[in-house]
A and B are shown apart, each in its own frame.
Chain A
Amino acid sequence: MSDIRFTKDHEWVLVDGDTATIGISDYAQEQLGDVVFVELPDIGKTLEQGDEAAVVESVKAASEVYAPVSGEVIEVNEELEAAPGRVNEDATGEGWFVKLKLTDEDELDDLMDEAAYAKYIKELD
């Protein structure tokens, strides 16, 4: 069973212990188109839920990626600097952006599970 959670702004978060891995959804990467650049935060930066965590750029536009939960940045996916297209190829896997040390597990309750998110994006189209 998957514990992945989604925001209405199309970020995902997957929690393992007190580590929260975040990225953008497959729906989001498809809407963006080819990702050509990803700007990642500095390690050690503290993010509140909803803060700008990263920036993702397609040929057309730049978009902010918001932190789905609060926490301190403990790791970033440096592979994306050389291979930003990984976000398109595997948005919810190898295309992850940032790992946070989770500060408030209760924030996960605000987010959608996979089934709820699937329903949510279906209503958007």
Chain B
Amino acid sequence: MGESSAAATPEDLKTSDLKMTPLHGLHLELGARMVPFAGYDMPVQYPKGVLAEHVHTREAAGLFDVSHMGQARLKGPDHETVAAALEALAPGNFKGLGAGRQVYSLLLTNKGTIVDDFMVARPAAPEEEGSLLLVVNAACKEKDYAYIAARLPENVTLEPLEDLALLALQGPRAGEVLARHARQAAEMIFMDARRGSFDGIACHLTRAGYTGEDGFEISVAADKAEAVARALLAHDEVEPIGLGARDSLRLEAGLCLYGHDIDEATTPVEAALNWAIPKRRREEGGFPGAETILDQLKNGAPSKRVGILPDGKAPAREGTEIFSTTGEKLGVVTSGGFGPSVGGPIAMGYVQTAASDVSTEVVLMVRGKERPAHIAPLPFVAQRYYRGKK
């Protein structure tokens, strides 16, 4: 047997060169299978396996170690100044971001392509006024920090927060479980951000994640991360979840994986992330590549990210070519595999915009065989974010 295509794991590092998160020992104790990912030795799955971990997250709550991601503080004299500095690099409405709120945004090149996708939180506490908390992709940390630091005004600084761990608790039971340890959790809705206390341990909570489920990310001092993880894992509702299920969960939720679905060759409009460019920024511009992006918003882009549902059972992996039913090449799959909650193969990829309408029939070339498929709406599994009591 030989592996012909695998999920995202850059295998360019020897195990000995890999960095470890503060939970590395716990992963080993839990029986995780470890793989190199973005320079870290990370758990791809635990003994229950990817399928069971995926389903458990959708049904109860899954605990993910995302400490490899980059956490940083952007700091200036006041909110207006720090928000303006970030608005020069990304198309979010940071000036209008309320205290205690978080937003998803995109760091852009001058061509309007994507340097990274990242989260930006404005802390709720008045004493943190003038700060924005960033969470960036693990593989992009150094690139992002250099990119941002080189473009800041003198009175705004970027401080990487290296001594923090990040845990994600995701799933329909996440809220009630977390509230047993951190009462602040119960008062938060999707994309809220709060300082909190987890059994007396200082933490920063955001009600967000990357699975399509309700859930939280818990930022905590590295030396306290294991205590938090063990306390959460002590609940019957909570199981540890590896990168394998993290990937299938985010793919079902229609969320982009940087370096695969988006990169420095794709714009937000091509990536169908128009929603990440709010109205004021569309009117005012003032972000890198605004000319290109505003033109694409108005007139469309040549290609577009879409969902793709194979009609049969064969998964179409990253790199699979997409053709029209008449044999014209339309594009390529950028993420693909099996969706455990969908119960079949799912994929995302780029196709010519003219062929991007939902239900358009396409042909996937999988190992030399033509496999019929069609363009499908994203997400594949409905997002279940908690937006407050109805």
User: A residues near B, CB below 8 A?
Assistant: 9-11, 24, 28, 33-34, 36-37, 39, 55-66, 81
* Interface-located stretch among B42-50, B169-177, B266-274: B42-50
Return A46 CB to nearest CB of chain B, in Å: 17
11 A/B residue pairs, CB under 8 Å, sorted by A: A33-B50, A37-B314, A57-B338, A58-B50, A59-B51, A60-B44, A60-B45, A61-B4, A61-B317, A63-B2, A66-B2
Q: Are B315 and A37 in touch, CB under 8 angstroms?
A: yes
Return A70 CB to nearest CB of chain B, in Å: 18
A63: chain B residues within 8 A (beta carbon): 1-4
A61: chain B residues within 8 A (beta carbon): 3-7, 317
Indicate whether A60 sits within 8 Å of B1 (C-beta atoms), given known contacts A36-B338, A37-B345.
no
The 7 nearest A-B residue pairs measured at CB: A61-B6, A34-B51, A36-B338, A59-B50, A62-B5, A9-B1, A33-B49
Q: Which residue of B lies closest to A8 (CB)?
A: B1
Indicate whether A33 sits within 8 Å of B51 (C-beta atoms), given known contacts A39-B314, A57-B315, A81-B313.
yes
Return A118 CB to nearest CB of chain B, in Å: 17
A65: chain B residues within 8 A (beta carbon): 1
Q: Which of A55, A56, A61, A81 has the most CB of B within 10 A?
A: A61
Q: Are B244 and A33 in touch, CB under 8 angstroms?
A: yes
Return B197 CB to nearest CB of chain A, in Å: 37
If over half of A's interface residues share one DSSP class (helix, strand or loop), that class is named, otherwise mixed; here it is strand
A11: chain B residues within 8 A (beta carbon): 1
User: B residues near A, CB below 8 A?
Assistant: 1-7, 44-45, 49-52, 54, 244-245, 247-248, 313-315, 317, 337-338, 340, 345, 367
Tell me the complex Cα distance, A28–B1, Å.
Answer: 8
Return B18 CB to nearest CB of chain A, in Å: 19
Indicate whether A62 sits within 8 Å of B1 (C-beta atoms), given known contacts A33-B51, A37-B345, A39-B367.
no
A57: chain B residues within 8 A (beta carbon): 314-315, 338
Tell me the complex Cα distance, A64–B5, Å.
Answer: 10
Tell me the complex Cα distance, A11–B2, Å.
Answer: 10
B247: chain A residues within 8 A (beta carbon): 60
A55: chain B residues within 8 A (beta carbon): 4, 367
Tell me the complex Cα distance, A61–B8, Å.
Answer: 10
Q: Which residue of B lies closest to A61 (CB)?
A: B6
Tell me the complex Cα distance, A61–B45, Å.
Answer: 13
Tell me the complex Cα distance, A11–B1, Å.
Answer: 7
Return A79 CB to nearest CB of chain B, in Å: 14
Q: Are A62 and B3 in touch, CB under 8 angstroms?
A: yes
Return A59 CB to nearest CB of chain B, in Å: 4
Q: Which residue of B lies closest to A88 (CB)?
A: B49
Tell me the complex Cα distance, A59–B4, Å.
Answer: 14
B338: chain A residues within 8 A (beta carbon): 36-37, 57-59
